[in-house]
Amino acid sequence: MTRYQHFRAICSLGLPLILGNIAQISIGVVDTVMTGWYSVEALAALVLGSSFFFVVFILGAGFGHAVLPLVASAAAREDAVQIRRVTRMGLWLS
């Protein structure tokens, strides 16, 4: 595999993660701006709710990210049963 092919493979895997993170941040910014025009109490409630959601989101995303190397390892061994098992458990935990 050449450097260009390796770079392209990494970018094709990383681009959805980057776009997902940008979308998540954008949603938070838009929510804050819209709620800030409404009232201070609503903005405080949004901050508390967003903080709670962020913790839950990070826990779920952590399980999802932990599945990637396990699936890659099973794919390298060509173990289809393990791929299905790890993917199913990762989706269940997320």
% of the chain surpassing 70 pLDDT: 100
pTM of the model: 0.55
Q: Please count the other Cβ atoms lying within 10 Å of the Cβ belonging to residue 24.
A: 13
CA distance 36 to 27: 14
Domain count, the chain: 1
Quick: pLDDT tens for 31-76.
Answer: 889 998 988 999 999 989 988 988 888 887 887 788 888 888 888 9
Over its C-alpha atoms, the chain yields an Rg (Å, rounded) of 19
Q: Chain centroid to CA 58: how far?
A: 8
Q: Which domain holds residue 37?
A: 3-93
pLDDT at 1 over 80: no
* Spatial distance between the Cα atoms of 28 and 22, rounded to a whole number of angstroms: 10
Read off the DSSP letter of residue 37. T
Mean pLDDT (the chain) is 87
Residue 26: alpha-carbon gap to chain centroid: 14
Confidence at residue 48, expressed as pLDDT on a 0 to 100 scale: 92
